[in-house]
Amino acid sequence: MSYNVISEAPIPLDWGRVCSVVSAHRRRVEVFPIPAESPGDPDALGLSIPEGQADESAWEELIRLIDALRVGFGMNAVELYSGLCFEPGNLERIQKNYRG
């Protein structure tokens, strides 16, 4: 099973700009857009690491990508397994979930 994260934006995203940032940081992490369904809903990105590629390099790539999305777009990432936000106080717990 893949490792999945959702990253939500506080404002509507410029998808072209998002693609530029994502392509600069992504090799193993699969990324897919989740446009807002109705006014007031957030735009988001789904981030996924396939099980066969879930190693330390993929984890480091995921963290770099989440940081780039946070800095560039103010996006907050949430691990879908536990519902924990990717914040400094939660990273150790989230990484344990990632490692299984």
Give the separation between CA 23 and CA 94, rounded to whole angstroms: 24
Per-residue pLDDT tens over the stretch 5-15: 999 999 999 99
Residue 37, token pair as written in the block: 């369904």
Torsional class of 50: left (φ above 0), alpha (ψ -120 to 50), beta (otherwise): beta
Per-residue pLDDT tens over the stretch 18-28: 999 999 888 89
Q: What pLDDT is stored for residue 98 in this prediction?
A: 92
DSSP-derived letter for residue 59 is H
DSSP-derived letter for residue 85 is B
Q: What pLDDT is stored for residue 25 in this prediction?
A: 82
